[in-house]
A and B are shown apart, each in its own frame.
Chain A
Amino acid sequence: MRVFQALAIGFCGLALTACATTPPTPEMVANRDPYETINRDTLKFNGKIDRYFVIPTVALYFVLVPEGGRRAVHHFLENLTLPTTFVNDMLQGELKRGGQTTARFLVNTTIGLGGFLDPASKMKIPDHGEDFGQTLAVWGMDEGPYLVLPFFGPSNPRDAFGIAADVGLDPTTYIHFKQHIWWDLGREYFTILDLRAQTFQTVQNIQRSSVDYYASLRSLYRQLRENEIRNGRAPKTQDLPDF
């Protein structure tokens, strides 16, 4: 299943390239978004999946699982991502952050009852995310053109490759036990539920206040990724535009 995920990303990228027959306008090129036309269509497609499948499921999740249960699921899923985060910390030479990731994983997996609780945060062990897209950026790779991937949302070639590579970096990919496909499917399913449950109201607010939702997401995604790549460190002020 995780391998399928990696293949799906690759397929999406190829399909996007093949379908992008509309020549980009100079504005699209200037915005580093030469596939804007197809990206906008993909965003609409993702919106339909969200509206007709994801949101109803999230509504059911809210009805069936109380807040404490949803919080526990969130902590558990976050804990599962820490081994991948640690590998990327190391690949970026971030030893201190790698130590924090290890400490969080050990504390939450043991005292936190397999990750369902988050005593590490109470112990002020900082939390952060890392992925292979960020690692590639730290290594100097350019992000490339903006992409909206079917099912996966805002991305770019570097980050799309990073998603696929993270599957390979995740130690749980190599744990094969009886009926592990159900474990994989369950994990992905609850990851979607958790993500959408946490962001439901905020996404609605952004949709409501946006003049151009697509452009808003593109800007948010790029700015956020840059901040993540800097690991929250102050940006070079010279990079900011003049007012």
Chain B
Amino acid sequence: MRFSPIPRRAVLAMAVTLASGLALTSPALAANPAEDFVQENIHKGLEILNNKGLAAEQRRTQFESFLLGLTDMKRIADFTLGQYRRSASPADVAAFEVAFQNYAVAVYQSYFAKYAGQTLKVTGSQARTPDDFIVATQLIDPNDNSGQQPLEVDFRVRTDSGKPVVVDFSVAGIWLALEERDQFTAFLGQNNGNVRTLIAHLSDLAKQFRTG
């Protein structure tokens, strides 16, 4: 029998997706701007996570700045609204973007400490369009002696706004923004498309995470 409220690999992958200690090893020469971007910028995340001299609050603040500088939260937020983005009022969309950012940062921060010390190694990239790249990396735990294969972590990098930004990332094939869009649109479907209800729910979740 396979009693499983959720498959094992899914939860492990999701845990890392939610929590990936965004870190990078010193990799080989990068092949394109997206790889360069992942290689150079995510390395900063490693430094924050592994800096034992930082107090918890300092680390939290620095990690938040790092995350917001690395990603295009507004774009991700709009994507996660799915079809409800078109029918929502501009004021609701703006409020949702703020609530989403608070939620995303709070959720990532609550987990990232568990994965501090792990590293990411860039292994290649694919160009989906001239300004849309998938950068492939591997998550490596230097303390793991199990011999298991490292997890594959991919970053989706857009360069169309002049500056490269991460818009999504996947662990073991699970894309986080896709998963969030599926959740949010299902929630809105259950709540008559009311974006304000979703905003209130996200704010509650963010508060819960911040207070531990």
State the interface size on chain A (CB cutoff 8 A): 64
Identify the closest chain A residue to B126 (Cβ).
A237
- The reply on A122 being an interface residue by CB < 8 A is yes
Judging by beta carbons under 8 Å apart, are A205 and B15 in contact? yes
Distance of A150 from chain B, by nearest CB (Å): 10
Q: Give the complex CA separation of A49 and B173 in angstroms.
A: 29
| Interface stretch of the complex, out of B20-28, B31-39, B41-49, B147-155 | B147-155
Which residues of chain A come closer than 8 Å to B75, judged between CB atoms? 243
- The reply on B11 being an interface residue by CB < 8 A is yes
Interface residues of B in 136-152 (CB under 8 A from A): 136, 145-149, 152
Judging by beta carbons under 8 Å apart, are A199 and B148 in contact? no
Judging by beta carbons under 8 Å apart, are A243 and B156 in contact? yes
Judging by beta carbons under 8 Å apart, are A221 and B149 in contact? no
Known A-B contacts A127-B149, A199-B12, A211-B205; A221 and B3 likewise in contact (beta carbons under 8 Å): no
Interface residues of B in 148-201 (CB under 8 A from A): 148-149, 152, 156, 158, 167-168, 170, 172-175, 177-180, 182-187, 189-190, 198, 201
- The reply on B13 being an interface residue by CB < 8 A is yes
Q: Count A-B contacts at CB 8 Å.
A: 176
- The reply on A175 being an interface residue by CB < 8 A is no
Identify the closest chain A residue to B191 (Cβ).
A212
Distance of A97 from chain B, by nearest CB (Å): 12
- The reply on B52 being an interface residue by CB < 8 A is no
Q: Give the complex CA separation of A241 and B14 in angstroms.
A: 20
Known A-B contacts A153-B5, A153-B6, A223-B174; A202 and B186 likewise in contact (beta carbons under 8 Å): no
Which residues of chain B come closer than 8 Å to A235, judged between CB atoms? 173
Which residues of chain B come closer than 8 Å to A47, judged between CB atoms? 5
Judging by beta carbons under 8 Å apart, are B11 and A203 in contact? yes
Interface of B is mostly: helix
Known A-B contacts A209-B18, A224-B173; A243 and B158 likewise in contact (beta carbons under 8 Å): yes
Judging by beta carbons under 8 Å apart, are B7 and A154 in contact? yes
Known A-B contacts A212-B186, A235-B173; A121 and B146 likewise in contact (beta carbons under 8 Å): yes
Distance of B126 from chain A, by nearest CB (Å): 5
Judging by beta carbons under 8 Å apart, are A202 and B4 in contact? no
- The reply on A232 being an interface residue by CB < 8 A is yes
Q: Give the complex CA separation of A120 and B184 in angstroms.
A: 42
Q: Give the complex CA separation of A121 and B148 in angstroms.
A: 6
Known A-B contacts A212-B187, A220-B179, A243-B158; A203 and B173 likewise in contact (beta carbons under 8 Å): no
Identify the closest chain B residue to A204 (Cβ).
B11
Judging by beta carbons under 8 Å apart, are A220 and B14 in contact? yes
Identify the closest chain B residue to A216 (Cβ).
B183
Identify the closest chain A residue to B80 (Cβ).
A211
Which residue from B13, B18, B136, B179 sits with its C-beta under 8 Å from A234?
A: B136
Judging by beta carbons under 8 Å apart, are A216 and B182 in contact? yes
Judging by beta carbons under 8 Å apart, are B186 and A151 in contact? no
- The reply on B66 being an interface residue by CB < 8 A is no
Which residue from B6, B111, B128, B132 sits with its C-beta under 8 Å from A217?
A: B6
Chain A interface (Cβ < 8 Å from any Cβ of B): 5, 8, 25, 27, 31, 43, 46-47, 49-50, 54, 118, 120-124, 126-127, 129, 151-154, 163, 188, 191-192, 195-196, 198-199, 201-203, 205-206, 208-212, 214-221, 223-224, 226-228, 230, 232, 234-235, 237-238, 240-241, 243
Top 10 nearest A-B pairs by Cβ distance? A227-B173, A215-B186, A121-B147, A219-B182, A237-B128, A202-B11, A153-B4, A202-B15, A220-B10, A219-B179
